[in-house]
Amino acid sequence: AQKVTQAQTEISVVEKEDVTLDCVYETRDTTYYLFWYKQPPSGELVFLIRRNSFDEQNEISGRYSWNFQKSTSSFNFTITASQVVDSAVYFCALRRETGGFKTIFGAGTRLFVKA
């Protein structure tokens, strides 16, 4: 069975704080893809990053960074120096290589960044 767990339901931080959103996944597949999406109040999901199971390199994009660790089945997302515009719901997702677009999403973490 495949599953994505985002244990943090809501996180509240003050602007300029760093914040890490946790994601733990379960799959028996050796090839799979992990994603992070941002859902602002407007509703559409905004793609942030895709990582395949063979690429454990951490990635940094501006204030965003991702830490993928197969040993712990985790794909955590860190926002450095958070800003009010980062307030949104963030989803971690898992897709099998043979599953097409049957993406399994976590429950999401709602991030509040206060000025």
Binding site for another protein (CB under 8 A): 32-33, 37, 42-47, 50, 52, 91, 93, 95-108
Residue 80 vs 96, nearer CB to another protein: 96
CB distance 4 to 25 below 8 Å: yes
CB 19, min distance to another protein, A: 21
Residue 28: which residues within 8 A CB-CB, separation 6 or more? Answer: none
What φ, ψ does residue 113 adopt, rounded to 5°?
-115, 115
Residue 11 vs 107, nearer CB to another protein: 107
CB 112, min distance to another protein, A: 17
Q: How far apart are the first and last CA of the chain?
A: 41
CB 110, min distance to another protein, A: 11
